[in-house]
Structure 1
Amino acid sequence: MEKEYLTVRTLAGLLDMSEQTVYKLLREGIIPGRVKVGKSVRFNKEVVMDWLQRGGDTDE
């Protein structure tokens, strides 16, 4: 199965927040599943969806 990745814009829409807030949460280490592609950031969709189902818990 091929992994799916979300852009910051797509994740912001999914979470109903601004892209700036996604970047802030990323800097704070709150959103898991970050993958750097050059200067771009993507998020592993499976990891993010699991995190959301756990209620956005930052403890692994």
Structure 2
Amino acid sequence: MQQGNYEVQVIDVSGKIIYCQLMNFKAGKIDLELKIATVPGIYFLKVTNNQSQMVKKFVIE
């Protein structure tokens, strides 16, 4: 991941955005810990900037 400003979203399986924040990342590996109140289920983490987009699926049990 390149250094810069990114929009970080957590999206539930229905497509509802349950978390959204702009963050500034440095180049390299990113460790991200989000404190969000959610129910168990499948979610998607979407990280975007002007040049790229990454989506990762995760499960809360």
* TM-score bracket for this pair, using the shorter chain length: under 0.3
Question: Which has more strand, going by share of residues?
Answer: 2
Question: Which has more helix, going by share of residues?
Answer: 1
TM-score, normalised relative to structure 2 = 0.23
Larger Rg: 2
